[in-house]
A and B are shown apart, each in its own frame.
Chain A
Amino acid sequence: MANFNTHFNVASGASAIFSGTLLSMEVLTPEEAVVAFFLGTLGGLLPDVDSAHSTSIKVGFNVLSLLVTIMVIFTKSSTYSLIEMFLVTSLVFIGIRYALLDVFRQISKHRGMFHSIPVAFIWGILIAILMHFFFGLNALVSWVYGFMVTVGYFVHLILDESYSVDLRNKRIKKSFGTALKLGKFKKPKDKVQTALIYMSIPILLSIAPDTTLVINALFSHDAWLIFKDVLIPSDGKWFMH
């Protein structure tokens, strides 16, 4: 299994390539590309939040608690007094960073369904919904942010899976197949959990923003032409612009 630093470095490298490409293709503005880079990196750390004492879970809950606290400040700053604001935000921060983290540690199991392909997609869709409804971003940017989280997530799963192959001793470790999986099917409980996860995908998609724009921007013939235009200098003059 790859450690936190490896996951962080590889996910940030992959996110830099993807967000840089999307910036060059003019799908994202420079500011949006920076956010996309951070989300991709965060996506590369997300699968390990089910590990009770990993660095990812601490980072993840720090980010989440700060994000929700900032959102409370945004929404209530015009109506609450400073003392009210201080009390509410402290409660929210401590509640998420410590109480919710403790509950999460007790119910989650490392290398459970968090390390699976459908959950990577669910995170992407959830981020798209969150960006569209909570922050009011347009459908394209919302989906691109979701896409970046899914990319980061996949990078993590692939990295974990590749670390389960020991090339020197030419053996496959016990952890092989526990990261990049379609679901768990051993016990009846696992089957129910897997079924619920798959069932949640169409439900989430039904409330997610419109996909037309992101399909046109990333997966259309136009997108391919733009990619070809920006891949190498169109006039053949390298470093002369």
Chain B
Amino acid sequence: MNREIKIVCFLVVGSLFSACVPVPKPHVPIGLGSMHQEEIEINVVKVPSVTPPLVAVVDKEYGTKPLNYMNSIRSYFSNKIARGELSKYKYGYPKRAYKKEGFAYGGDVSWKGWLVETSVATPTRTGRLLTPKPYMVLFSGEQIVEHILGYSHKLITKVDK
């Protein structure tokens, strides 16, 4: 019996100590591929090295392509997520996409517009900066309709890959 207790104690102490060893941070792909990426830190707005052309693109089905999407997303998230104003952002290019409602609400197409993949690295309440979280931000023109956690959802179809 004593031996078993010793083994259990050894395992508990061992596992507690193993938790103290820093483990390399998991690599979370932000999924923006070879697309234009840009980082904006709060208070320090870096001018993108490759500025996307500011030409209004109007799609009959999907509406106007958002141009000022980076600032829109940043101000949107500052109210939507905890410590959003202190977060670091990376943006993809706007893509045409549509979203279906959940089957509980009929399953019809509920939104058609432009989707911007955004990765947000938010600090915890103790100030530790976390691995970036992926978001899809849905636009109708320049207006943000909603955001969805993750770069994929079974009810969202991205028309532009």
Contacts and interface: CB of A to CB of B under 8 A. Distances in A.
Given A138-B150, A222-B25, 20 more contacts: A26-B124, A74-B105, A75-B105, A75-B106, A132-B153, A133-B154, A136-B100, A136-B102, A138-B149, A138-B153, A210-B152, A212-B28, A212-B150, A221-B23, A221-B24, A222-B26, A225-B124, A226-B124, A229-B125, A234-B126
Interface size class of A (residues with CB under 8 A): 20 to 34
A216 B128 contact: no
B interface, over-half SS:
loop
A95 to B, nearest CB: 18
B26 A209 contact: no
A139 B130 contact: no
B66 to A, nearest CB: 21
A135 B24 CA distance: 36
B26 A220 contact: yes
Nearest to A68: B104
B150 A213 contact: yes
Contacts of A148: none
A140 B105 contact: no
B111 to A, nearest CB: 11
Interface size class of B (residues with CB under 8 A): 20 to 34
Given A222-B25, A222-B130, A225-B128, A74 B149 contact: no
A229 B126 contact: yes
A interface, over-half SS:
helix
Interface in A225-239: 225-226, 229-230, 234
Given A26-B82, A136-B155, A213 B149 contact: yes
Interface of A: 26, 71, 74-75, 132-141, 209-210, 212-213, 216, 220-222, 224-226, 229-230, 234
B137 to A, nearest CB: 13
B26 A139 contact: no
Nearest to B147: A138
Contacts, number: 75
A141 B147 CA distance: 14
Contacts of A209: 153-154
B104 A74 contact: yes
Nearest to B125: A229
A221 B24 CA distance: 8
A140 B28 CA distance: 15
Interface in B84-140: 100-106, 124-126, 128, 130-131, 134
B154 A132 contact: yes
B98 to A, nearest CB: 13
B26 A216 contact: yes
The 9 closest A-B pairs by CB, nearest first: A136-B102, A138-B149, A134-B104, A234-B126, A135-B102, A221-B23, A229-B126, A71-B104, A75-B106
Given A26-B82, A75-B106, A229-B124, A222 B150 contact: no
Contacts of B105: 74-75, 136
A141 B150 CA distance: 11
